[in-house]
Structure 1
Amino acid sequence: MPGLLPTKRFFEGKKVIIVGRTKSKLQAASKELGHAAPYYTLDTGDISSISSFIEKVMKDHSEVDYLINNAGMQRPLDNHNFDLQKADQEIDINIRGPMHLTIGLLPHFKSKFSALNVNVSSVIGFIPISIINPVYNGTKAWLHFWSMNLRTQS
């Protein structure tokens, strides 16, 4: 929806911290940003590592006031030969990771004048047109509706 996300101007002068699973990709992105953006490796599917990650980032960058949860994994899964381990990993990355990050940062964000949390969902969460991705469809629907409830309560 137009107007919900900040414009490019909002980001002017802001320090960007990038986070992802692959160090080499983070290094390349940091270099591409041109001002050596700090980066951290984190697999949002590794739920047990999220709280220590938040502690580290808050120690290093107490000015953090914006989170964009863009983690996502999408795998074709066949209901006739369903791989529960892959489904669980997809749920951890697409639901539990963003939830733990958001809830872990929420007290800090509430102390800021203007803080924002953005959870990236997908149209597939509303219209599950991809029949080979049943878990992904559901996780993106969950993320959307959870985000709406979180916003209503804040």
Structure 2
Amino acid sequence: MSNNIQDKVVVITGASSGLGEATARHLASLGAKVVLAARRADRLGQIVAEIQAQGGQAIYQQVDVTDLAQMQALVAAAIQTFGRIDVLVNNAGLMSIAPMAALKVDEWDRMIDINVKGVLYGIAAALPEFQKQNSGHFINIASVAGIKVFSPGGTVYSGTKFAVRAISEGLRHEVGANIRTTTIEPGAVDSELKLGSSHEASANAVKDFYKIAIPASAVARAIAYAIEQPAEVDINEIVLRPTAQEF
């Protein structure tokens, strides 16, 4: 019996570690054809080799999500190799925590470029293909910080994740009856996301907070759940946290 994941072509950004890597490995084990994208080509190559060694189908492409042309080339590579694209997981993200008064403007720009524009560029690259096929599935990774403002320190990060939720909901409404849109909103998950802060006091607070983190595989299973539903079922939002997390 098909699990509705078997043979689907799934493109995943931020796939060199954390949620992206865990999702690629999990979906490949369920029979998906996975296309891994990130900036660290050596790490991607290693993960793809391990997936292939276990009988999975996987390729990788070195990609910076803040460059639209690279995102378009990623989608083109998926289609060239596997003939189509069924799911795009917009997972690449940056979390730089610092008080607003620290004026980490460069970090604000990076978060907007990766967390907001990166998602938009993924949509811009995949949407024409989904429309052509009359099917497809966007899975955008937001955060519990996109539900409740994480302050002090996470104000701009929260702004980007609120934006992901707004974009996802508007996209869902606009794309019609054959393209699915899911937003995943994780709490503390063990990944490199917690290492994105250059502000020392904030970085230490984040590391302390992340002691309760759940493994990235928890999010991979949530993503698989959204994908495996029948085509007429659109899981729009999944919020998951460590049981011990209050925020």
Q: TM-score normalized by structure 2?
A: 0.54
Which range moves more in the overlay, 34-43 or 90-99? Answer: 34-43
State whether residues 98 and 152 of structure 2, in contact with CA within 8 Å, keep that contact through their aligned partners in structure 1. Answer: no
What percentage of aligned pairs have identical amino acids? 27
Asked if 1:106 corresponds to 2:127, the answer is yes
Whole-angstrom distance in 2 between the partners of 1:113 and 1:47: 23
Tell me which moved more, 32-41 or 96-105.
32-41
Question: How many Å separate the matches in 2 of 1:52 and 1:67?
Answer: 14
Change (3 A) 1:114 1:54: closer
Question: Which residue in the other structure is 2:164 paired with?
Answer: 143
Q: How big is the alpha-carbon RMSD for the aligned residues of Structure 1 and Structure 2? A: 2.1
For residues 63-142 of structure 1, what are the structure 2 equivalents within 5 Å? 63-142=84-163
Match for 2:3: what amino acid?
R
Is residue 2:13 matched to residue 1:19? Answer: no
Which structure is higher in strand share?
A: 2
Question: 4, 7, 26: which is aligned to 1:10?
Answer: 4
Contact 1:45 1:89 in 2 (8 A): no
Answer whether contact 1:121 1:144 (CA < 8 A) is retained.
Answer: yes
Q: For the structure 1 residues 59 and 118, does the alpha-carbon distance in structure 2 shift closer, same or farther, using more than 3 Å as the test?
A: same
C-alpha distance after superposition, 1:59-85 (max 9, x if no partner): 444411210101110011222221211
Q: 1 CA distance for matches of 2:76 and 2:159?
A: 30
How many residue pairs align between the two structures?
A: 147
Q: Which runs of 5+ in 2 are unaligned?
A: 7-30, 176-247
Matched residue SS, 1:45: coil
